[in-house]
């Protein structure tokens, strides 16, 4: 490290109380921003869990659907029409619904039920225990072993339960890639069993899942589905639609945005204010350095270094603190949704750079203005 | 004349505009030579500090010129003036201006570090200068832990560490008791001054006049007297 940077560092770090105040300001702001955004990212990721878990390339739905679990059933002709579109390799229905399970202990537990197409079992989960064909057995269900699994009193193969007053039998345990948002267990069964067990309206198809012959066929398929008055979305488009719904139509996005902005402003004012006091208090030193022969750009380098050193350290502490807290929270609450994404980290980083930039800009202006003569006169 | 360290030629400096305009220095001309200990004396407000600042590249005069070792100071670019201050001129400010967050030895090393000397090397050299001013054992202390006279010596060590040809002291004894003040000036005269150096001291303090080679008197912004090789000035 060059000598002047070392001087800059010592001036900063040896002023313990101010250095700590600076760090606390930035750490606090980063912590809050990361927490808010991670919570939000986590919720968004989970809100699309069914879409990821089923894994189909194209989803056909009513245009009013904006959330995977609140589907709007479609009439059967949509399915047969979809099957006849050029470029469709196959099209199958899938059922999403909710049911009430009565456990051995007598307690009731809501579950979400996924009904897979009887012929193909398209969208089937990966099994940890049991065989997928057993799903055709009488009253058969496959239970997802995720963080909500315990709520079903941790069943094993052969466990029996009541589901909407019908008998249910566990024939397999599955694993899924993504946990859900609503904190209830998920069970899989066949489409036909699902619609017989769960009371439904005239139409029963929640979504139609399409496997195109090739990627190139997708636009044509979407166009044809549109003509029927329905919407065909690729997996990514559907995820995007759900995210947009949560972001823009539930007020959640706005709240997160506001909280993040407030954290930023609070952090900026604490650290900017403290850095400004720090510079004011050291103005005489900077003046003395100038008088001795330090050049303007060297003083600027010192200030930028002080600001960015504090900012980076505060950023590291803030990220560390937020991650630590999330890890702790996840230990206690398995379904805790927050997740740190590169996007969040980058965003918070840019915010911290802005804080450092604003603070050093004020500092630099002040320092370049001082006249060593005023120092010299005492 | 190769012996002239600083030549001031008809320097004028005023502050403010219109009603509030005060002329602090009114056409001051003088020369200071190498090997000379020059005092600038005069009542408060007579323009001593203003004059010092103009000849050392800190305050730009409104009129006149300053030659430092023959170079016209105020025609140089500001970075070059900064370089000249760093390499040729050493200052001791009236109230020392030591850095409280740095150790004594780090304070002394500052000019060396600004000259891009490696940190460890600079600390080593700074220690040698602390030894010259008799404070080597205080190297790791913070300046605030030192007495006023010791702080003054640290400031002197810092000023001479950069090996300047010209040393400028503004009221070096003002905040010291008579004995300490005399000791410091005696030290400057015997240890710091040499034939390749010019030392200029601004002072009010008649107790130290005996050390001067020359005394320049100022009053109301004007130089009203210049005496070489005298022992006492009334
Ligand atoms: N920045 C300034 N703005 C306005 N007036 C100034 C400024 N600096 C100096 N002066 C005025 O210039 C005059 C000379 O000031 P200077 O500091 O040079 O005096 P001095 O001889 O060093 O006095 P002292 O012995 O008290 O230090 C004074 O009248 C002072 O008020
Ligand atoms: Mg003065």
Q: Over chain A, what is the mean pLDDT?
A: 89
Do A176 and A265 belong to one domain? no
Q: Is the dihedral of CA A165, A171, A177, A183 positive or negative?
A: positive
Chain A: closest CA distance from residue B158 (Å): 10
Find, among A273, A295, A198, the residue nearest to A18 by Cα. A273
Number of A–B residue contacts, CB under 8 Å: 91
pLDDT value at position B41? Answer: 93
> For residue B7, what pLDDT band results from cuts at 50, 70 and 90?
very high
B118 touching A (Cβ < 8 Å) = yes
Do A162 and A225 belong to one domain? yes
Answer whether residue B233 is part of any domain.
Answer: no
Tell me the residue length of chain B.
234
Q: Which residues contact B130 (CB under 8 A, 6 or more apart)?
A: B104, B105, B108, B136, B138, B139, B154, B157
Answer whether residue B42 is part of any domain.
Answer: yes
Do A269 and A306 belong to one domain? yes
Report the percent of chain A where pLDDT is more than 90. Answer: 44
**What is the SS3 assignment for chain A?**
CCHHHHHHHHHHHCCHHHHHHHHHHHHHHHHHHHHHHHHHHHHHHHHCHHHHHHCCCEEEECCCCCCCCCCCCECHHHHHHHHCCCCEEEEEEEEEEEEEEECCCCCEEEEEEEEECCCCCCCCCEEEECCHHHHHCCCEEEEECCCCHHHHCCCCCCCEEEECCEEEEEEEEEECCCCCCCCCCEEEEEHHHHHHHCCCCCCCECEEEEEECCHHHHHHHHHHHHHCCCEEEEHHHHHHHHHHHHHHHCCHHHHHHHHHHHHHHHHHHHHHHHHHHHHHHCHHHHHHHHHHCCCHHHHHHHHHHHHHHHHHHHHHHHHHHHHHHHHHHHHHCCCCCCCCCHHHHHHHHHHHHHHHHHHHHHHHHHHHHCCHHHHHHC
Do A17 and A115 belong to one domain? no
Do A81 and A225 belong to one domain? yes
> For residue A304, what pLDDT band results from cuts at 50, 70 and 90?
very high
Answer whether residue B29 is part of any domain.
Answer: yes
Q: Establish whether residue B24 lines the binding site of ligand 1, counting it when its CB lies within 6 angstroms of any ligand atom.
A: yes
Do A206 and A84 belong to one domain? yes
Answer whether residue B177 is part of any domain.
Answer: yes
Answer whether residue B132 is part of any domain.
Answer: yes
Q: Establish whether residue B44 lines the binding site of ligand 1, counting it when its CB lies within 6 angstroms of any ligand atom.
A: yes
Do A8 and A81 belong to one domain? no
pLDDT value at position B1? Answer: 41
Residues with CB under 5 A from ligand 2 (ion): B 49
Last residue of a domain, one of A171, A196, A229: A229
Does the beta-carbon distance from A3 to B117 stay under 8 Å? yes
B96-139 pLDDT per residue, tens: 889 999 999 999 999 999 999 999 999 999 999 999 888 999 99
**Shortest-distance Cα residue to atom 29 of ligand 1:** B45
Do A264 and A225 belong to one domain? no
Last residue of a domain, one of A197, A229, A261: A229
C-alpha atoms less than 13 angstroms from C-alpha of A233 in its C-beta half-sphere:
20
A143-154 pLDDT per residue, tens: 998 888 888 888
| Mutation target vs A (from B101, B107, B202; most A CBs, 10 A cutoff) | B101
Q: Establish whether residue A378 lines the binding site of ligand 1, counting it when its CB lies within 6 angstroms of any ligand atom.
A: no
Answer whether residue A245 is part of any domain.
Answer: no
CATH number for position B210:
3.40.50.300
The boundaries of the domain holding residue B66 are 4-228
Mean pLDDT of A315-324: 94
The boundaries of the domain holding residue A30 are 3-46+252-377
Work out the angle between the directed axes of helices A235-244 and A16-47 (0-180°, nearest 10). Answer: 120
pLDDT value at position B233? Answer: 40
pLDDT value at position B234? Answer: 37
A10 touching B (Cβ < 8 Å) = yes
B52-90 pLDDT per residue, tens: 999 999 999 999 999 999 899 999 999 999 999 999 999
Q: Is the pLDDT of residue A378 over 70?
A: no
Does the beta-carbon distance from A376 to B99 stay under 8 Å? no
Do A263 and A216 belong to one domain? no
Q: Establish whether residue B95 lines the binding site of ligand 1, counting it when its CB lies within 6 angstroms of any ligand atom.
A: no
Q: Is the pLDDT of residue A182 over 80?
A: no
Answer whether residue A70 is part of any domain.
Answer: no
Q: Which atom of ligand 1 is nearest to the CA of B20?
A: 4
Q: Is B206 left (phi over 0), alpha (psi -120 to 50) or beta?
A: alpha
A197-236 pLDDT per residue, tens: 988 878 889 999 999 999 999 999 999 999 999 999 999 9
Answer whether residue A176 is part of any domain.
Answer: yes
Q: Establish whether residue B16 lines the binding site of ligand 1, counting it when its CB lies within 6 angstroms of any ligand atom.
A: yes
CA distance A7 to B119: 10
Q: Over chain B, what is the mean pLDDT?
A: 90
> For residue B232, what pLDDT band results from cuts at 50, 70 and 90?
very low
Pocket-testing residue among B8, B19, B21, B22, ligand 1, by greatest number of atoms within 8 A of Cβ: B22
Do A90 and A223 belong to one domain? yes
A167 touching B (Cβ < 8 Å) = no
CA distance A279 to A285: 9
Answer whether residue B234 is part of any domain.
Answer: no
Answer whether residue B146 is part of any domain.
Answer: yes
Answer whether residue B90 is part of any domain.
Answer: yes
Number of compact structural domains in chain A: 2
**What is the SS3 assignment for chain B?**
CCCEEEEEEEEEEEECCHHHCEEEEEEEEEEEECCCEEEEECCCCCCHHHHHHHHCCCCCCCEEEEEECCEEHHHCCHHHHHHHHHHHEEEECCCCCCCCCCCHHHHHHHHHHHCCCCHHHHHHHHHHHHHHCCCHHHCCCCHHHCCHHHHHHHHHHHHHHCCCCEEEEECCCCCCCHHHHHHHHHHHHHHHCCCCCEEEEEECCHHHHHHCCEEEEEECCEEEEEEECCCCCC
Q: Is the pLDDT of residue A374 over 90?
A: no
CA distance A109 to A187: 12
Q: Is the pLDDT of residue A83 over 80?
A: yes
| Mutation target vs B (from A285, A292, A300; most B CBs, 10 A cutoff) | A292
Do A327 and A211 belong to one domain? no
**Shortest-distance Cα residue to atom 1 of ligand 1:** B15
Number of compact structural domains in chain B: 1
Work out the angle between the directed axes of helices B78-88 and A283-292 (0-180°, nearest 10). Answer: 80
In this structure, the strands spanning B214-219 and B71-72 are unpaired
Do A81 and A167 belong to one domain? yes
Q: Which residues contact A155 (CB under 8 A, 6 or more apart)?
A: A143, A161, A170
User: Shortest CB distance from A378 goes to which of B83, B94, B117?
Assistant: B94
Report the percent of chain B where pLDDT is more than 70. Answer: 97
Q: Is the pLDDT of residue A364 over 70?
A: yes
Who wins on pLDDT, B119 or B163?
A: B119
Cα B92 to middle of ligand 2, angstroms: 12
**Shortest-distance Cα residue to atom 30 of ligand 1:** B45
Q: Establish whether residue B47 lines the binding site of ligand 1, counting it when its CB lies within 6 angstroms of any ligand atom.
A: yes
> For residue B229, what pLDDT band results from cuts at 50, 70 and 90?
low
């Amino acid at each position: 490290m060059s000598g002047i940077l070392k001087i800059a560092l010592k001036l900063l770090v040896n002023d313990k109380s101010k250095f700590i105040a600076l760090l606390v300001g930035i750490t606090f702001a980063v912590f809050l921003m990361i927490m808010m955004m991670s919570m939000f990212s986590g919720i968004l990721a989970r809100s699309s869990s069914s879409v990821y878990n089923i894994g189909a390339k194209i989803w056909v739905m009513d245009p009013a659907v904006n959330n995977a679990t609140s589907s709007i059933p479609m009439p059967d002709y949509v399915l047969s029409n979809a099957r006849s579109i050029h470029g469709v390799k196959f099209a199958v229905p899938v059922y999403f619904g909710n049911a009430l399970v009565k456990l051995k202990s007598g307690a009731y537990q809501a579950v979400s039920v996924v009904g897979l197409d009887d012929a193909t079992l398209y969208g089937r989960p990966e099994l940890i225990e049991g065989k997928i064909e057993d799903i055709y057995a009488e009253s058969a269900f496959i239970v997802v072993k995720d963080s909500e699994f315990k709520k079903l009193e941790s069943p094993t193969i052969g466990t029996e339960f009541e589901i909407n007053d019908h008998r249910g039998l566990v024939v397999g345990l599955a694993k899924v890639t993504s946990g859900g948002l609503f904190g209830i267990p998920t069970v899989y069964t066949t489409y036909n069993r699902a619609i017989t067990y769960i009371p439904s309206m005239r139409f029963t198809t929640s979504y139609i899942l399409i496997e195109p012959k090739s990627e190139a066929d997708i636009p044509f398929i979407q166009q044809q589905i549109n003509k029927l008055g329905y919407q065909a979305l690729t997996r990514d488009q559907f995820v995007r639609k759900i995210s947009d719904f949560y972001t823009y139509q539930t007020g959640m996005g706005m709240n997160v945005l506001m909280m993040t902005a407030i954290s930023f402003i609070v952090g900026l004012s604490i650290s900017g204010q403290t850095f400004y006091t720090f510079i004011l208090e050291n103005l005489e030193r900077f003046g003395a350095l100038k008088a001795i022969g330090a050049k303007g750009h060297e003083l600027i380098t010192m200030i930028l270094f002080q600001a960015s050193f504090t900012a980076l350290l505060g950023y590291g502490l803030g990220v560390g603190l937020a991650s630590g807290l999330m890890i702790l929270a996840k230990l206690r609450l398995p379904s805790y949704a927050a997740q740190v994404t590169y996007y969040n980290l980058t965003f918070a980083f840019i915010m911290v750079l802005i804080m450092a930039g604003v603070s050093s800009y004020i500092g630099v202006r002040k320092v370049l203005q001082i006249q060593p003569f005023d120092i010299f006169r005492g | 004349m190769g012996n002239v360290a600083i030549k001031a030629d008809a320097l004028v400096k005023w502050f403010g505009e219109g009603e509030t305009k005060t002329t602090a220095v009114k056409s001051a001309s003088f020369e200071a030579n190498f090997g000379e200990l020059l005092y600038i004396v005069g009542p408060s407000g007579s323009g001593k500090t203003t004059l010092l600042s103009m000849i050392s590249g800190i305050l730009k005069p409104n009129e006149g010129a300053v030659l430092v070792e023959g170079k016209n100071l105020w025609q140089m670019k500001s970075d070059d003036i900064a370089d000249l201050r760093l390499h040729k001129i050493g200052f001791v400010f009236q109230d020392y201006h030591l850095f409280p967050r740095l150790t004594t030895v780090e304070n002394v090393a500052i000019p060396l570090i600004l000259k891009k000397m490696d940190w460890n090397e600079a600390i080593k050299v700074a220690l040698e200068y602390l030894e010259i001013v008799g404070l080597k054992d205080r190297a790791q202390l913070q300046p605030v832990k030192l007495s006023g006279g010791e702080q003054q010596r640290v400031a002197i060590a810092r000023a001479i560490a950069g090996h300047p040809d010209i040393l400028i002291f503004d009221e070096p004894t003002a905040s010291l008791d008579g004995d300490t003040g005399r000791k410091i000036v005696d030290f400057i005269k015997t240890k710091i001054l040499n034939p390749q150096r010019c030392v200029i001291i601004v002072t009010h303090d008649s107790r130290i006049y005996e050390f001067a080679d020359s005394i320049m008197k100022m009053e109301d912004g004007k130089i009203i007297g210049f005496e070489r090789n005298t022992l006492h000035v009334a």
